[in-house]
Amino acid sequence: MPTVLVVDDDEHQRLLYQEELEFEGYEVILAASGQEAIDTIANQSVDCVVLDIAMPGMDGVETLGKILDINRQLPIILHTAYSSYKDDFMTWAAEAYVIKSSDLSSLKQYVKKAVASSQSADTEAHS
């Protein structure tokens, strides 16, 4: 079962994404901060990360860089309420940039694509 790490400082958002993504057939791991996400990625295998940007302490842009230092191949979807971060060149390293909405269909489509690309990269690496 593909594993998705959801990183968001808002507990309600984390739980909503967990419920929705588990319904789609993913195992979901939750992290409330950038540091928690980095610790998780260092110790567990995940296929995709859904990462909020506006978080206290280490924001999502800094977290993105640190995650890519650990695993450059890991697809990361930035999921934020703010479109202004698109201008930050660091966000260009993400697989996708999705604006938060009550309709999660766009996020789910990006997760599906990211997991598929992650799993095909894993298959090629082990061939």
- Are the beta carbons of 44 and 29 closer than 8 angstroms? yes
User: pLDDT-based confidence at 119, cuts 50/70/90?
Assistant: confident
**Long-range Cβ contacts of 89-92 (<8 Å, 24+ apart):** 90/61, 90/64, 90/65, 91/53, 91/61, 91/64
Query: What is 3-125's CATH number?
Result: 3.40.50.2300
| Per-domain boundaries in the chain | 3-125
d(CA 54, CA 72) in angstroms, rounded, equals 22
- pLDDT, tens digit (0-9, with 9 covering 90-100), for 36-70: 999 999 999 999 999 999 999 999 999 999 999 99
Query: Model-level pTM greater than 0.75?
Result: yes
- pLDDT, tens digit (0-9, with 9 covering 90-100), for 72-116: 999 999 988 877 666 665 676 788 888 898 899 999 999 999 999
